[in-house]
Amino acid sequence: MNEGNIPASLLNHVRADLQPVTPLPAPSRRLLALVPLALILLFGPPIHWGWRENFALLPSWTTWGLSALESFGGAALMGLALRQAVPGLAVRTRWMGLAFAGAVLLFASVSLTTAHMLPTPFEDASSWSRIAWECVFMELPFALPSLAISAWLVARALPTRPALTGCAYGLAVGLMTDAGMRLFCAVDQPSHVFAAHGGVILSGAIGGALIATLIERVKYRWLQMRGGLDARGS
């Protein structure tokens, strides 16, 4: 087949829709645009809900230091998700897997270190589930808008593996939200932190994967409805 001949239908389609476009900013620049979001997620929960009662008892490296580290880890993962969404810049799946493992390890290390520095067991074991749900619901007002903004940023590009990309930004939002929540929540007992805070992070990852997959499907359907694929085979 002579590859120089462009199918007429394809050419017509391109000719009919050839307005100039503005290239997406580089993933690093788009990540910079997310810095305010990271700051809101870091400072928002403690400012809105109040600082943890035992804040002064902890050394600053375990409060500000570890939160900043967790927030930075989340931002790095977000950068990876934004990069993953651009064709040709996607990293290998195994690197993504390593990044996910690193995120989980970071969360676990931060939580266990804080618990080791200042163990805060429940005074009343019966309140375990109530406090866990409180944490979950207090994180949601910060996590959900951030998830929506991340989903929008990724949807502007074209992720080859939407589930993987969505999982990355969901995990990133979860980490960044937890970085702020741990400055609010005074309970460091691992069962609480892993179930409630970890549960939000896990839900973010699963939710991100589902949202990104759904968005790509809807985008594809929408393009089909617009007749964008009529050029095939003609």
Partner 1 sequence: MYHRGEKSLAVPMSEPNGTEALDRLMREYQQGSLAAFEALYRALASRLRSFIRTRVGHDARTSDLLQEAFLEIHRSRHTYLPGNSVVGWAFGIAQNVVLRHRHIELRRARYEVPTDTLEPEAELRAADLDFHPLQEALSKLAPDSRATWWMRHIEGLSFDAIARRLGIAAAAVRLRCSRASRALRAALEQGPGNE
Residues that bind partner 1 (CB under 8 A): 1, 3-4, 6-7, 9-11, 13-15, 17-24, 26, 86-90, 157-161, 220-221, 223-234
Minimum distance from residue 211 beta carbon to partner 1 (Å) = 17
By beta-carbon proximity to partner 1, the closer residue of 47 and 223 is: 223
Token readout for 123 is: 């005074």
Among all chains, which residue has been given the structure tokens 């928002």? 44
Question: Considering beta carbons, is residue 9 or 191 the nearer one to partner 1?
Answer: 9
User: Measured between alpha carbons, how far is 194 from 172 in angstroms, rounded to an integer?
Assistant: 16
**Alpha carbon 10 to its chain's center:** 37
Judged by beta carbon, residue 39 or residue 89, the one nearer partner 1 is 89
Q: Three-state SS for 195?
A: helix
Compare residues 45 and 162 and give the one whose CB is closer to partner 1. 162
Q: What are the structure tokens assigned to 43, written together? A: 């400072």
Q: How far is the CB of 159 from partner 1 (least distance, A)?
A: 8
**Shortest gap between Cβ of 229 and partner 1 (angstroms)?**
6
Closest CA to 81 of 108, 106, 99, 101: 99
Which residue, 15 or 126, is less far from partner 1 as judged by CB?
15
Where are any strands of DSSP class E within 136-188? Answer: none
How would you class 84 by CB atoms within 10 Å of its CB: exposed for 0-12, middle for 13-18, buried for 19 or more?
Answer: buried
170 Cβ contact partners less than 8 Å away, ≥ 6 residues apart: 147, 150, 204, 205, 206, 207, 208, 209, 211
In the bound complex, what is the minimum distance in angstroms from residue 34's beta carbon to partner 1?
17
Question: Nearer Cβ to partner 1, position 116 or 156?
Answer: 156
Min dist. Cβ of residue 190 to partner 1 (A): 39
**Helical packing angle, 162-181 and 66-84, nearest 10°:** 160
Closest approach of partner 1 to the CB of residue 225, in Å: 5
**Residue 178 to residue 139: CA distance in whole angstroms:** 8
Nearer to partner 1, 15 or 125 (CB): 15
Minimum CB separation of residue 197 from partner 1 in Å reads 34
Distance from CA of residue 183 to its chain's centroid?
20
